[in-house]
C-alpha cells in the first residue's frame, strides 16, 4: 500500500467533522491519481503562509490543515512572546469565515487572545489591526486574486508585515511537529467569546484606519468640486464598504458600483479569475462604463490589497493601465505635488521590487528621492518601512509599489493597500481633471518625459506533482545552461539571487548581491531590456517578467513581442 493510500484511509477515518470533506473523500475512492494529488505532500508553509485548493487531504486547505498550521504558529508565538495576542481577518472566499474562526479557536486554546473582525475585511485592515491593537501576530484568511477553488492563510508579525523568512522557517518547523489529527488544541468559538479569549474588533479600529488612509491625501480639497465620476467593482470581495467609505470621505459624489460584483460571493460567478490584472475580471465594469461614461473604472481584488483601473479614450473605449504604469504615475504625482506644496520629507524614500519598472528610477532621481530595490513580495517593502521606523524616520517613506497592482503610501500599515491606492488614484484623476488633463494624457506625458518603458508578465501553469518537478527542472536548466541571447538581444548580465551572485557576461566579473537569497534569475539584455523569471511562492506557476525600452511605443512593443516569443520557446512551453 502506498503512502498516499495509507493517508487517504486515515483521513477517511478521522476527517469526519466536515461533511464536505467526507463526501469528497468518498468520491475519489479508488481513483489513484486523485488520491495522489491530495496526499503526495503537505501544503507548504512559505514566507506568505499557506495557499491551496479547498478540499480534503494534506495537500488541500481544510479545517484540519488550518488548525495544524495555527497550532504551529501558536507554539512559535508562545515561545517568542508573553501574554500574546493575535489579530484575524478574512475575505469573501469559500470557508474563509470558517477558517478564521477555527484560527481564533486554536489561538484561544493556547492562551493567546484572539481579536477577529465581525465581518470580512481587507488585508490592509488586518495589518492595521495588528499594529493598532498591539498584537504579536496576525492571520489573514485569503487567496487574494486566485480562482474560487483556492483559499489561503497569510501570517503577519508584530510589525504588521508578513512574516520574515527566518520567522517563517521557525513556524514551519513547529507546524511539522504537529499531528494532523489531535495535535492542535482548540475550544468552541462561542465559548471563547464568552470567556474573553476571543474578542470582536470594534468599529473604532476601522474608523481609525480610514482616518489614516485619508491622511495620505495631497489634494483632497479639490476632489469634491472636480466632478469626477467613478465606476467601481469590488469583484465580490472585501473592498465594497471601505473603498466606498473613503471615496465618500474625500468628496466623490458619483460612484456607481457594478451590481453583479457588489456583494461578497466566494464563487465569483461573473469573474472566474477575480484578478484586476486580467481584462476578463473587469468585463462587467467595462460594460457598465458604456452607459455610465465615468472618468475612471476602479477594480479591487477580493482581499482589497490590489487595484486595477481603466480610463476613457477619445474614441469612447476604455483603456486598461498596467500596475507599472499606475505605480509610476502615482510616484510622479506624489513627488511633484508634495514638492510643490513643501510637504516632501527630508531625504524621502520610495521602494519597489526588482521586477517593477525602472522608469521610477528616473522619477526618483528628478525629485531627489532615494529609491530602494527589494525582492518580489510586498513584505520586503514593508520591511524597509520597518527599518526606517526603527531609526525614527518612518516619515521619510513616501510610496512603495510592485508591478502586480499593489501600492502603499504612508507607514500606518505594512502591506499593499487598495483602499489608499483607490483614494490616491481618484485624487490624482480629479487633480489632473481640474488642469484639463486626462489620465490617458498624463500617462503619455510620463512616457514623453522619461522614455517608452514597456513591461509585461507571463505565467506558465505547472499544476500537480509533476508541475512542481517541472518548475525545478526549468530553474535548474536556466542556471546551468542559460540562453546567450533572448529575442535577438544578447545577455549582458546574469544574476542568480539563489546564490547571491551577478555575472558580467563580457568580462566574467562576478559581484555579490546584497538582497536575501531567493529563487530568482535575471537576464539583463542589450538596449536596457531584461527578462526575470521566478517560481511563484504561492501558486503552481512559474512567472516571467519582460522589460523593453524603445524610442517609440511601437519600437518597445516590437522588442517585447520578440522577447516573449523566444523565451517561451526556451522554457519549453
**What residues are labeled active site?**
144
Whether 7 and 137 have beta carbons less than 8 Å apart is answered as: no
**DSSP H or E segment with residue 222:** helix 220-223
CA dist 136 and 87 (Å) reads: 8
> Pick from 408, 393, 399, 414: which is nearest to 346 by CA?
393
Beta 137-141 vs 85-90: how paired, if at all? parallel
Which cell numbers in the block locate residue 415? 502591506
Give dist(CA 77, CA 65) in Å, integer.
18
Contact 302, 145 (CB under 8 A): yes
The length of the chain in residues reads 573
**Alpha carbon 535 to its chain's center:** 15
Answer for the pair 351, 384: CB distance below 8 angstroms, yes or no. yes
Nearest CA-CA partner of 150 in 23, 302, 305: 302
Is 280 in contact with 321 (CB distance < 8 Å)?
no
Strands 501-504 and 49-53 come out as unpaired
What burial letters (b/e) apply to 57-67, b meaning 16+ CB within 10 Å? bbbbbbbbbbb
Beta strands in 206-341 (DSSP E): 229-233, 254-257, 296-300, 307-312, 318-320
Amino acid at each position: 500500500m502506498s503512502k498516499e493510500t495509507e493517508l487517504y484511509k486515515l483521513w477517511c477515518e478521522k476527517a469526519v467533522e466536515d461533511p464536505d470533506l467526507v463526501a469528497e473523500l468518498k468520491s475519489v475512492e479508488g481513483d489513484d491519481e486523485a488520491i495522489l494529488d491530495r496526499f503526495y505532500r503537505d501544503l507548504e508553509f512559505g514566507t506568505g503562509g499557506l495557499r491551496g485548493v479547498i478540499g480534503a487531504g494534506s495537500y488541500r486547505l481544510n479545517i484540519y490543515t488550518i488548525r495544524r498550521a495555527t497550532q504551529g504558529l501558536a507554539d512559535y508565538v508562545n515561545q517568542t512572546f508573553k501574554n500574546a495576542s493575535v489579530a484575524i481577518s478574512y475575505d469573501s472566499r469559500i470557508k474563509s469565515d470558517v477558517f478564521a474562526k477555527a484560527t481564533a479557536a486554536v489561538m484561544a486554546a493556547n492562551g493567546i487572545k484572539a481579536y477577529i473582525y465581525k465581518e470580512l475585511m481587507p488585508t490592509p485592515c488586518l495589518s492595521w489591526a495588528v499594529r493598532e491593537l498591539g498584537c504579536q501576530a496576525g492571520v489573514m484568511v485569503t487567496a487574494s486574486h486566485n480562482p474560487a477553488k483556492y483559499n489561503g492563510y497569510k501570517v503577519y508579525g508584530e510589525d504588521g508585515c508578513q512574516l520574515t523568512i527566518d520567522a517563517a522557517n521557525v513556524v514551519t518547523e513547529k507546524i511539522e511537529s504537529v499531528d494532523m489529527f489531535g495535535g492542535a488544541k482548540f475550544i468552541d468559538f462561542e465559548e471563547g467569546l464568552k470567556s474573553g479569549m476571543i474578542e470582536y474588533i470594534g468599529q473604532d479600529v476601522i474608523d481609525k484606519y480610514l482616518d489614516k488612509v485619508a491622511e495620505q491625501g495631497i489634494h483632497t480639497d479639490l476632489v469634491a468640486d472636480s466632478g469626477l465620476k467613478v465606476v467601481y467593482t469590488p469583484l465580490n470581495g472585501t473592498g465594497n464598504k471601505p473603498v466606498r467609505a473613503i471615496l465618500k470621505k474625500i468628496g466623490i459624489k458619483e460612484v456607481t458600483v457594478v451590481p453583479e460584483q457588489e456583494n461578497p460571493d466566494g464563487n465569483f460567478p461573473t469573474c472566474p479569475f477575480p484578478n484586476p490584472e486580467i481584462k476578463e475580471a473587469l468585463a462587467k465594469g467595462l460594460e457598465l462604463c458604456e452607459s455610465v461614461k465615468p472618468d475612471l473604472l476602479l477594480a479591487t481584488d477580493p482581499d482589497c490589497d490590489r487595484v486595477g483601473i481603466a480610463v476613457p479614450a477619445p474614441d469612447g473605449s476604455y483603456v486598461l493601465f498596467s500596475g507599472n504604469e499606475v505605480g509610476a504615475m502615482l510616484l510622479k504625482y506624489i513627488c511633484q505635488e508634495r514638492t510643490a506644496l513643501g510637504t516632501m520629507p527630508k531625504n524621502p524614500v520610495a521602494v519597489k521590487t526588482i521586477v517593477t519598472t525602472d522608469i521610477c528610477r528616473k522619477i526618483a532621481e528628478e525629485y531627489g528621492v532615494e529609491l530602494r530595490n527589494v525582492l518580489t513580495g510586498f513584505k520586503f517593502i514593508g520591511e524597509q518601512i520597518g527599518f526606517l521606523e526603527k531609526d525614527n524616520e518612518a516619515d521619510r517613506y513616501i510610496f512603495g509599489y510592485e508591478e502586480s497592482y499593489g501600492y502603499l503610501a504612508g507607514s500606518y500599515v505594512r502591506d499593499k493597500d487598495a483602499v489608499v491606492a483607490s483614494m490616491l488614484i481618484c485624487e490624482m484623476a480629479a487633480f489632473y481633471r481640474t488642469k484639463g488633463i486626462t489620465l490617458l494624457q498624463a500617462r503619455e506625458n510620463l512616457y514623453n518625459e522619461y522614455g517608452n518603458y514597456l513591461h509585461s508578465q507571463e505565467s506558465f501553469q505547472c499544476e500537480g506533482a509533476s508541475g512542481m518537478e517541472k518548475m525545478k527542472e526549468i530553474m535548474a536548466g536556466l542556471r546551468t545552461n542559460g540562453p546567450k541571447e533572448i529575442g535577438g538581444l544578447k545577455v549582458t548580465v546574469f544574476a542568480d539571487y539563489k546564490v547571491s551572485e551577478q555575472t558580467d557576461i563580457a568580462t566574467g566579473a562576478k559581484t555579490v548581491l546584497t538582497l536575501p537569497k531567493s529563487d530568482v534569475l535575471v537576464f539583463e539584455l542589450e538596449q536596457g531590456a531584461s527578462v526575470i523569471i521566478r517560481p511563484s511562492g504561492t501558486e503552481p506557476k512559474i512567472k516571467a517578467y519582460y522589460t523593453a525600452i524603445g524610442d517609440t511605443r511601437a519600437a518597445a512593443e516590437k522588442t517585447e513581442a520578440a522577447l516573449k516569443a523566444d523565451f517561451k520557446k526556451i522554457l519549453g512551453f
